[in-house]
Every structure is written in structure tokens, then in C-alpha cells.
Amino acid sequence: MAFRFEILKKDHFSKSRLGRIETDHGSFSTPAFLPVGTQGTVKSLTPEELVEVGVEAILGNTYHLYLRPGHETIGRLGGLHSFIHWERPILTDSGGYQIFSLGELTKISEEGVTFRSHLDGSTHFLTPEKVTEIQRILGSDIAMVLDECVPYPSSYEYVKTSIKLTTRWAKRCLQERKETDSALFAIVQGGVYRDLREESAQALVEMNFQGYAIGGLSVGEPKSMMLDVLEWTIPHLPENAPRYLMGVGTPEDILDAIMLGIDLFDCVLPTRNARNGMLFTSSGKMSIKQAQYAEDRRPIDEPCLCYTCRHYSRAYLRHLHLANEILSSRLNTIHNLFYYMNFMKHIQGAIRENHLLDFYKAHHSHSNGLEIENPAQHHTTWG
Ligand SMILES: [Zn+2]
């Protein structure tokens, strides 16, 4: 197993870093945004189309793949990369987030977590060891530990007990890991409590994982609180390991988190919004269904060079969306992912050239209106 994280440049005015992650399936630049391939597909696009919009790595959801078609089936078919025809890096989550969002259907114990499938109601029991094994069989390049995702808000006492369990589970995942396995990242929890975030980070860092995620954010807490948690947590993470903010987010959230030193992101927002007709543009967010676009010949975003913007008008895209045509999802997803990938490339360039602060100011002055109505619920629950 080859895994290496190299920091190529640090920004002078913020905590952001330009880096490169190497895996057995190639390398990718950081800060990176990983589109979500919930069920072994980034909805509506082929792998070739993902490459064309600039995607270098994707995320797969262990929970969904475990239930259907089953990790053993995928393993017998040559592993996830071969099964889905994606030769570049894949990060898999542990399934914890999906399992815990089942709510009443979930029961937690020291040993692991029992839950009922959202597909057929069947009962399943997953342990840290099992989750590590599933990700090994899938053949992911970056695997995540099983953690307890506490809802927001949760009491201090509850979170204090929970982070201890998450630490014990992380240790069991690490013990189960084999030398030939993919990289394994731990997940810092601790809700919105500073001392618990610090305690969780310190306990996990002692175990020496290859990377560290910050979990339990973007679950309904105010944005300022998310930034507070990042400011408290990041100083306790090692400089030379990648830092991954799970389930975030809007371009603004991503840029803010990069300024604080985050390297990796994933979120369903660009793909899910695309299917709902919500498009990201250089001047803010646009709802393509609005009547004002009925005869608008312009592309979604004039400066955008994506396939969709090069060939299709707002009027046609509005028509496709209202007619509920499959092509609507495809063309909108191409644009939104291109927008996100281009955004990340600009950030990487700005760090390299030492003008991230200028980029930050320019982006914030141009993107009024990009605010999302509901900042929570952008995780990959059901894709
Ligand atoms: Zn475009």
C-alpha cells in the first residue's frame, strides 16, 4: 500500500496548504473536493465525464455498498475500482454517518452498532473490525474508522462518553488494519465543546493515523460554530497529515475551512443541487426553473468553460428541468462539478502564488447570494 502526503507550499497569510496525496491508484492535489459516489456512481455521470470536469478522486459510501450489492460481491468482481470502472483514488467512509442518521433503527453498544436496513428492514450488526474489513474488500485507497456521529445538539455528558467510545473504536480499527491495507483516517468528534474536541483529537493523534477527519459538523449547527470547532481542533492535529472536513459544503464553507488548514472535503451539494436545478455560478446561485430564463439564450455562467455552458442555453436547461428529462440532471451535474473543481484549482493556484487572501476577498464580494437556505443536511445520507 502506497500512501503519502506531501505539503508543497504553505500560504503566508492563512493556515492553508497546497499538497499532494499519493495512493496506489494515483495521486491528487489538495485542497481537494471529492464528489460523492453514493452507490458506486456519482449520479448521472460516467467516469470519463468526471475526469473531463477535473475530478481526481471520489468518495464511496460503505453503508450503501455493504447493503447493495454487498462488499463480498464487489470483492469477487475485482474490487470497487474495477466494478465501477474508476481507476483513480477512492475514499470510502465507514458507514457510521448513514447508520446513525437512521435514528430509531440504530442501537449502539461497546461492541458495535446494530441497525435496520433502509432497503428491506433487515437487521445488521457492524463492528469497527467489520467496517475495516469491508473497506479492505472494497479496495478503497483511504478508509475511515467507525465513529459515533452524535446529533446536534447533544448534551456535554453524552458527547463526553461518546468520544471515549469513538476513541476505543478507532483503536480497534487500527488493530484490525493490515500492512497491505489502504490508508486509515481517524475521525475527531466532540460536538461543539472545545475541551471534548481537543481531548478527542489528542487521543486519536497519539495512535498515529495517516490522516484525520473532523466529523460531526454541518449537522445543523450555526456556521460560526463550525468555524470555532475547526479553530479549536486543527492545532491539535499533526502538520504532516491530511485533514478532512466531512460533509462540507458550500464553496464559501470550503474556502473558510481551507484558510484554517483543511485539505479534503466531500459533499453531495453540487450533485444533489444539480438534480434540483440549483446551479453554482461566478455571481451566485441560480435556480434554472425560474420563469426569467424561459427565453434566455445565455449559458448558465458566461465565463464557464464546461461542456454544458459551451453548448446549451439557460432556456433549454430550464425546459429540460421542467420536463423532468434525464439530460437535465446530467448537464446540470457537469456544470456544478466543473464549477467546484475549477474553484478548487483556483484555490490551489492562489496558494501556490501567495494570493489566497485576494482570492478570498474577491470571492466573498462576488458571491453574495450563494448562501444556502439550510446549511445542514448536505451529508451523504441517501445520496
Ligand atoms: Zn458551466
In the reported structure, the alpha carbon of residue 298 is separated from the centroid of ligand 1 by a whole-number distance in angstroms of 11
Residue 375 and residue 250 in contact, taking contact as beta carbons nearer than 8 Å? yes
What is the model's pLDDT at position 105? 80
Query: What value does the mean pLDDT take over residues 214-222?
Result: 94
**pLDDT band for position 364 (cuts 50, 70, 90):** confident
Q: Per-residue pLDDT tens for 226-271? A: 999 999 999 999 999 999 999 999 999 999 999 999 999 999 999 9
Buried b (16+ CB within 10 A) or exposed e, 198-232: bbbbebbbeeebbbbbbbbbbbebebeebbebbeb
Helices (H), 101-222: 128-138, 156-176, 194-206
- 88: which 3 cell numbers? 483513480
Q: Residue 6's beta-bridge partner residues?
A: 20
**Which amino acid is it at 76?**
R
- 382, pLDDT greater than 60: no
Query: What value does the mean pLDDT take over residues 278-290?
Result: 97
In the reported structure, the alpha carbon of residue 251 is separated from the centroid of ligand 1 by a whole-number distance in angstroms of 15
Q: What is the mean pLDDT of the chain?
A: 94
Angle at 9 between CA 7 and CA 11, to 5 degrees: 125
DSSP state of 239: T
**pLDDT band for position 374 (cuts 50, 70, 90):** very low
Query: What value does the mean pLDDT take over residues 32-46?
Result: 97
Q: Per-residue pLDDT tens for 47-89? A: 999 999 999 999 999 999 999 999 999 999 999 999 999 999 9
Interatomic CA distance for residues 152 and 141, integer angstroms: 30
What is the model's pLDDT at position 190? 98
Residue 244 and residue 273 in contact, taking contact as beta carbons nearer than 8 Å? no
Find all residues with CB under 8 Å of 186, minimum gap 6, and list them.
Answer: 145, 170, 204, 207, 209, 211, 212, 213
In the reported structure, the alpha carbon of residue 279 is separated from the centroid of ligand 1 by a whole-number distance in angstroms of 9
Buried b (16+ CB within 10 A) or exposed e, 339-363: bbbbbbeebbebbeeebbeebbeeb
Catalytically active residues, by annotation:
93, 266
Q: Per-residue pLDDT tens for 157-204? A: 999 999 999 999 999 999 999 989 999 999 999 999 999 999 999 999
What is the model's pLDDT at position 255? 98
- 96, pLDDT greater than 80: yes
Q: Residue 266's beta-bridge partner residues?
A: 34
What is the model's pLDDT at position 33? 98
Q: Per-residue pLDDT tens for 150-167? A: 999 999 999 999 999 999
In the reported structure, the alpha carbon of residue 383 is separated from the centroid of ligand 1 by a whole-number distance in angstroms of 22
What is the model's pLDDT at position 365? 81
Q: Is the peptide bond before 151 cis (omega within 30 degrees of 0)?
A: no
Query: What value does the mean pLDDT take over residues 15-20?
Result: 98
Find all residues with CB under 8 Å of 112, minimum gap 6, and list them.
Answer: 125, 126, 127, 128, 130, 146
Query: What value does the mean pLDDT take over residues 108-113?
Result: 96
Between 78-92, 97-111, 299-313, the lowest mean confidence (pLDDT) is in: 97-111
In the reported structure, the alpha carbon of residue 369 is separated from the centroid of ligand 1 by a whole-number distance in angstroms of 18
Residue 192 and residue 183 in contact, taking contact as beta carbons nearer than 8 Å? no
